[in-house]
Amino acid sequence: MMRTSRGDFTLCKRLTGLALLCVLPSWARAAELQVPASVEAGQAFSIPLEGSGQATFYLLGPDHVVKRSVSLGSELPIQSGDVRTAGRYQVIVCGSSCTSAGFEVKAAQPAHLSFFLHPSRVPVSTPGSIDATAFVFDRYFNLVLTPAAVDFQITPASGAGFSRQVSTRHGAAWMRMDSTPHEGRVQVTAVLGNVEEARVIQQVAAEACALRMKAVTSGDMVTLETEPVRDCSGNALPDGTVVSFTKIDKAGKSTVDTPIKKGIARVQFSVRGPAQISVACGVVLGNEVALGGKL
């Protein structure tokens, strides 16, 4: 885009500038400044400076500002370190008057992936429960906006692995998938060329299924013990999961919330006369046991 002097704001100029931006293939032409329309991040280049005498050169980028004296009529080298961040850069050369031009620095080749795998724990056999999102960055951590194919490779704890390829849009690629029926670690690796980023997700048992307990009476004490607590796919609920036992007898209601240990939950009650005992895990109800007849 061309800028020739201060205060040049007219609509005509703006439209001309925009038109030039569209039609010029690779070089933008200012009165004295010729800069590339775009360069790759970290790529050195030079700007020919027309005219004679001394001038002040300014380069203003997203994270970088350069100001130095230059001799007109020579090539002005722009170091690779001056253009590492993607975005619009502005070049201004001031001699007797100021001239400016702009160019765009685009991200270099992909070099980093910011990879989000969500959630980190997921119940088994849940449709659409796993989301993977990858943001592609170059080696200077510029978002790579050029479409690229990210390969999501899924490796479950048991069973065969599989992969899905997704093209990035505005530097991001994402996919969604179901959790598998078996608990355990699932590794998901996002791959783009030589760049790999792995994340792990834990598939855990779902809600308890067919919760059952048995009672063993000894005097006025009753010991209640669940069968191994599993979900509907047969995965054992992790130790520490709370199981609630409720006993109702003449003395009133008694409840104990106890965690599962080694796959089963166990509790002891004292009973006076007939009693009814029930078990639950979360919102899942188990069987009921009646002791000594009806209440």
Which residue, 58, 94, 52, is CA-closest to 72?
52
> Using the rule CB under 8 A, is 21 a contact of other proteins?
yes
Q: Which of 18, 44, 210, 295 touches other proteins (CB under 8 A)?
A: 18
Q: Tell me, what amino acid is at 226? A: T
Of the two residues 3 and 180, which places its CB atom closer to other proteins in the complex? Answer: 3
Kindly state the tokens that stand for 112.
């980093």
Q: Which of 16, 48, 67, 216 touches other proteins (CB under 8 A)?
A: 67
> Using the rule CB under 8 A, is 152 a contact of other proteins?
no
Give residue 159's Cα distance to chain centre.
Answer: 25
Q: Which residue has the tokens 């010029």?
A: 24
Q: Which of 39, 76, 78, 142 touches other proteins (CB under 8 A)?
A: 142
> Using the rule CB under 8 A, is 58 a contact of other proteins?
yes
> Using the rule CB under 8 A, is 119 a contact of other proteins?
yes
> Using the rule CB under 8 A, is 115 a contact of other proteins?
yes
Q: Which positions from 243 through 272 interact with other proteins, judged by CB under 8 A?
A: 243, 251-259, 261, 267, 269-270
Of the two residues 105 and 289, which places its CB atom closer to other proteins in the complex? Answer: 105
> Using the rule CB under 8 A, is 64 a contact of other proteins?
yes
Write each residue from 210 to 249 as x if it is in contact with other proteins (CB under 8 A), else as -, in one continuous string: ---------------------------xxxxxxx------
Rg (CA), the chain: 35
Q: Which of 20, 31, 70, 143 touches other proteins (CB under 8 A)?
A: 143
**Are the beta carbons of 60 and 92 closer than 8 angstroms?**
yes
Q: Which of 16, 73, 81, 94 touches other proteins (CB under 8 A)?
A: 94
- Compute the least distance from the CB of residue 80 to other proteins, in Å: 17
CA 223/CA 36 separation, integer angstroms: 83
Q: Which positions from 154 through 193 interact with other proteins, judged by CB under 8 A?
A: 169-172, 174, 176
CA 74/CA 25 separation, integer angstroms: 24
Phi/psi region, residue 13 (left: phi>0; alpha: psi -120 to 50; beta: rest), is alpha
CA 142/CA 171 separation, integer angstroms: 10
Q: Which of 30, 39, 92, 277 touches other proteins (CB under 8 A)?
A: 92
Of the two residues 26 and 160, which places its CB atom closer to other proteins in the complex? Answer: 26
Phi, psi (rounded to 5 degrees) for 17? -60, -45
Kindly state the tokens that stand for 39.
């360069």
Of the two residues 199 and 230, which places its CB atom closer to other proteins in the complex? Answer: 199
- Compute the least distance from the CB of residue 242 to other proteins, in Å: 4
CA 167/CA 278 separation, integer angstroms: 53
> Using the rule CB under 8 A, is 60 a contact of other proteins?
yes
Under rule CB under 8 A, how many of the chain's residues touch other proteins?
Answer: 81
Give the contacts of 224 (CB within 8 A, at least 6 positions apart). Answer: 213, 214, 215, 245, 266, 267, 268, 269, 277, 279, 289
Give the contacts of 161 (CB within 8 A, at least 6 positions apart). Answer: 153, 154, 155
